[in-house]
Each structure stands twice: as C-alpha cells, then as structure tokens.
Chains A and B, each alone.
Chain A
Amino acid sequence: MSDSTLTGQAAEIRDEFLDLDLSSRLELLLEFSNELPALPERLADHPELLERVAECQAPVFIVVEVDDGLVTMFAQAPPEAPTTRGFASILAQTLNGLTVDEALALPDDYPQMLGLSKAVSPLRLNGMSGMLQRAKRQLRARVGR
C-alpha cells in the first residue's frame, strides 16, 4: 500500500489518510483545512505577491519562499471551500521545512496517493495537483533552475 518514494512528512500524511476508512478521510481533510494558518501580515497586505491557482474553482492563492535553503509555502483559501483549503494545508505542511531538492522531488502524483480519489471529485484533486505544480515552478524560479 505504501509508496517507498515518499519520505518524511509527505509519507506521514499519506499514511495518516490511508489508515482511515473513506468517510474518515474526509473528516481528516476537514481537520487539515482548519489547520491552515492565516497569511502573515506582510503577505496579507500584498496579495500581488501571491499566485492564483487557476486549476482550483475556489479562489486559492499560494506563494513559496526559500529561507536558508528551507522551503515555506503560504496559502490562502476560503473556509467555504474546505476540501480545497484542506489540500492547501496538506501541501503547506508537507513542503514546509524541506530543502529545495526535497520539495522538488515530491512526486507530481502525490495528491493521488492520499486515497481520496473515491471521496472527492477529480476536479478538486486536479486543483491540488495544480497547487503542487505551481509551488514547484515558483521554487525553481527562486533558485534559478
């Protein structure tokens, strides 16, 4: 069941989902959505610094920063879209604290590994994939790769 290519927090979060039955996975997704922190003031006051994730129907914005070689992702997603907000929270918790190389090595199909394909629509899963791809693109741009 486990995918050996995942390590660290990504593997922990994937296992947390796979340990649950389908309906409980949705509750866990909701718990993640409640854990997405508000944007820090310096970003909240400058929305132009964030990138809209066009793959999400809901208005979701992300920005990825690199400080001392470690990645931090910030995201804003409305509470009215808990699934999408949950995905943003998962991605932020997965990426935060990784090195750039570790973050870029996160498989593109990570969203599909969480066992949610029977619980949420493909459109929403695609939204999370879009978030991940945009986060990686921002990272590459920041480190000049």
Chain B
Amino acid sequence: MTEADADAPVIARGTGLTEIVPATASRCTGRTADSKKWVSERYRPQADRWLALNMISSINGSATGPDGTSETLSNRTDRMILGVIRDHADAVLVGAGSVRAEGYVMPKTAVLAVVTRSGSLAGHKLGDDYDAERLVVLYPAGNEEQVLANLGDLPCRRLAMPGNDPGPAEIVETLAANGYPSVVCEGGPSLAGQFIRAGQVDAVYLSVAPTFVLPARPLIGGDDEFQRWFTLDGLLVDDDGNTYHRLRPDTQDRTAA
C-alpha cells in the first residue's frame, strides 16, 4: 500500500480511509468537509431511481453487537459514511422494528420512511420536535383501519401501498410516486432480506467491523433456500481495520457456471 497520494485531502488528526478497490490507494484522513466530499464521490447513486441497501456486520455476519443494536459495531468513520449515503438519498427506508429497537434520529435532509403492517411504532425514539412531513409511514392499504388506529395522532405523512401484502416493488414504487426516487434501506434483517430476494437492490453498502459477536443476528432474514451473487465495485478500509464494501448485483449466474 502506498502512502497518501498527492491529491488526497489530508486535513486533521483522525482515522484515515484508504481506497483498495479500485486500487488507487488514494487516502482521506479526518472527518471534515473535504473527507466527506471524497467519500461522497464514491457513494454517489448511479441513477435517479436508486435503491441502496446499507448494512453493517461483524466478521461472523452478525448485524448487531452483543447489546442487540448495530451501534456497538459502528464507529465514527462508519457514521460519517452513513451520513454521506443518507445525504444522497431522498428517503431512508427502515422497518418499524428497527425504529423501535435502534433509537433512530431523523436524517438531516432525507425523509425517514418506515414500513409497517400494523402501524405500531410504540417505543420509537424520534423525539417530538421533528417535521411531520419528514416522517413517512408506509402501510398496506388492505390494513388501513388498524394502521390508522395504531398511528393515532403521530405526526407523519401516511402513504398506503396497494393490496394486503405489498413487497419491495410496491415500496419502491410508492416512494418514487411520492417524490422519493432515491432510497437507502437500512434494514432491519427482514426488510433487507425481502429486497435482496426480490432483486430490487441496485447497490449494497456493507461495513464490516473486525470483531466476532455472539449472539449473532443474521444480516438478512428468511429461511427459504436462496443465493444471489454480487460484484465488488468499491472497497475502502480505515486505519482500525473496518472495511466498507460497495457491491452491485451480479449480472451473471455464477452458480450455473
């Protein structure tokens, strides 16, 4: 690995990031505006309509640390990258379970889009001073009565999806039709698994923390037999050994080959 190249922004003390794939060995250090710009160029969506899946994992594939949240796998650099990815998105998409478990804070510019079957967001930690238009609740039209009853007077934008059992395609379609074509899905595992299986993912952004964790909670949910290959588009590594992968769905079926 070479030292910092001449053009890389070297700004302040802090954890550096080195680009491994493509093999430029370009580096950025610190978490300043220049570093964010450096990262932002690498995470820019490649189409107006875009669905990226953003995940963090331990070495053994756990989506959460021992405390049951992803926070104990994350670090400052990972959160900086998360912020950049969110800045590129119109909507941050999560399952209702994640909002209850993870203590979400509203994204700075994107809306927070929460998928729920029941409308129960009890225990959310969004605070009470957010802009109601920036919390979007997506629910099946077939379950509207129960959802609206459970939501009560929660300040939010309510978006019904067609049918009783809408899947990833309906989620993406509903978001795009309402002004949110660029989406980053942050899980949880069940929602992430649905998107992977449905082939509705344009990119996977995966951070891997160099730690083994038990009990392990799988990155994606689902019990049925399934495999899908991805191609590595980009790889950054920070000075603490955390790796940041950018993957896109393989266009070829490797299993058949």
Given A21-B125, A24-B71, A93-B12, the answer on whether A12 and B76 have CB atoms closer than 8 Å is no
Main secondary structure, interface of A, reads helix
Interface size classification for chain A: 20 to 34
Q: Which of B1-34 contact A (CB under 8 A)?
A: 11-14, 31-33
Interface residues of chain B, those whose CB is within 8 Å of chain A, are: 11-14, 31-33, 71-72, 75-76, 79-80, 83, 103-105, 108, 125
Given A8-B32, A23-B103, A24-B103, the answer on whether A37 and B79 have CB atoms closer than 8 Å is no
A31 at the binding interface (Cβ < 8 Å): yes
New A-B contacts (4) at CB < 8 Å, excluding given A23-B103, A31-B75? A8-B33, A9-B12, A16-B31, A16-B80
Query: Residues of A contacting B72 with CB < 8 Å?
Result: 27
Query: Residues of B contacting A16 with CB < 8 Å?
Result: 31, 76, 79-80
Interface residues of chain A, those whose CB is within 8 Å of chain B, are: 8-9, 12, 15-16, 18-21, 23-24, 27-28, 31, 35, 37, 92-93, 96-97
Choose among A9, A27, A92 the residue that contacts B32 (Cβ–Cβ < 8 A).
A9
Would you mind naming 17 contact pairs between A and B with Cβ atoms under 8 Å apart? A9-B12, A12-B31, A12-B32, A19-B79, A20-B79, A21-B103, A21-B105, A23-B71, A24-B71, A28-B76, A31-B76, A35-B14, A92-B13, A93-B13, A96-B13, A97-B11, A97-B12
A31 to B11, CA, bound (A): 19
A19 to B31, CA, bound (A): 14
Please state if B105 and A20 are interface contacts (CB–CB under 8 Å). Answer: yes
Minimal beta-carbon separation of A80 from chain B (angstroms): 22
Query: Residues of A contacting B83 with CB < 8 Å?
Result: 19
Query: Nearest 5 CB-CB pairs, A to B?
Result: A21-B103, A24-B71, A31-B76, A21-B125, A21-B105
Query: Residues of B contacting A12 with CB < 8 Å?
Result: 31-33
Please state if A96 and B103 are interface contacts (CB–CB under 8 Å). Answer: no
